[in-house]
Amino acid sequence: MSKEKKKMQDPTKKGAQPPFEQQERQDPPGTEKKMHPKVDHGEESYKGSGKLEGKNAIITGGDSGIGRAVAIAFAREGANVLIAYLNEDEDAKETANWVEKAGKKAVLVAGDVSEEEHCKKIIEKAVKEFGQIDILVNNAAFQMARETIQDIPSGEWDKTFKTNIYSMFYLVKAAEPHMKPGSTIINTTSINAYKPHPQLLAYAATKGAIQNFTANLGQILAPKGIRANCVAPGPIWTPLIPATMPMDQTETFGKDTPLGRPGQPAELAAPFVLLASEGSSYMTGSTIQVTGGRPTI
């Protein structure tokens, strides 16, 4: 018997279409419940197939947005997940619930990844709870839109670099001794590594650094059988947007992409699963761009 064919969706109409209603200004990094339209993390759409069965993953910034979508996908593919987050307890518990609904173990660790000692604690907690680390997803990030370089406080510059790139160094350094051949590291970079937004000077600079860090890391760790790759999202609808971007820009966010809309976190899940799985065994130091058609060349 032939199965009914699943229709392909028009990518220009798959996600919420701008213009969006006026968003409520949030304090960074923002929370899910105040987002309109609602964010899609793949709660109803992502179907697993055992690609990560028996694996153990750490996801920073795992409470919401891209991190939540990746946590849901990893759990449905068979992985236990440690969700590292700053202080968004409600969002983090919601993500943990989705992981547990998939029948996998969820571990929550709150704290600031810009601090090296906290990064060490994340790794120690994962080893204690899981026994080993198979997948490290460095996804936590901070940004703030500023019109001019004079508007950027020196402390904010430091915070952006320490959160976005220092944390990756701290976590990889702490995790490497616990990662066996076949383990993977996935870093979240951005379209800003290729096409920097003029209002995101600090953020874009860190994303360029992440790109280079990952390309180099892939070479350094390859002899040990550990792979390191990137995912480069374009404009993705997450709490970070109303928390850090000018309100007038949130209404048309993503409209200037060739697909005419922002991406949803759910649309990032499959690339992360690919890089975490055996399907990408010959990929290291690589980047998968998910940009809505914005070119990276």
Active site residues: 203
Give the torsion through C-alpha atoms of 109, 115, 118, 123, to 10 deg.
Answer: 90
Q: What is the DSSP letter of 236?
A: B
State the Cα torsion 71-77-78-79 to the nearest 10°.
-30
Alpha-carbon gap, residue 254 to 19, rounded angstroms: 9
How far apart, in whole angstroms, are the C-alpha atoms of residue 236 and residue 99?
22
What is the C-alpha to C-alpha distance for residues 181 and 221, in angstroms, rounded to an integer?
10
Directed axis angle between helix 65-76 and helix 266-276, to 10°? Answer: 50
Q: How many other C-beta atoms lie within 10 A of the C-beta of residue 24?
A: 12
8 Å CB contact between 251 and 232:
no
Cα-Cα-Cα-Cα dihedral sign, residues 91, 96, 97, 98: positive
CA-based angle 197:203:204, to the nearest 5?
45
Q: Which helix (H) or strand (E) holds 160?
A: helix 154-161
- Name residues whose C-beta falls within 8 Å of residue 81's C-beta, 6 or more positions apart in sequence: 56, 57, 58, 59, 62, 71, 74, 75, 99, 104, 105, 106, 107
Residue 232: beta bridge partners?
Answer: 289
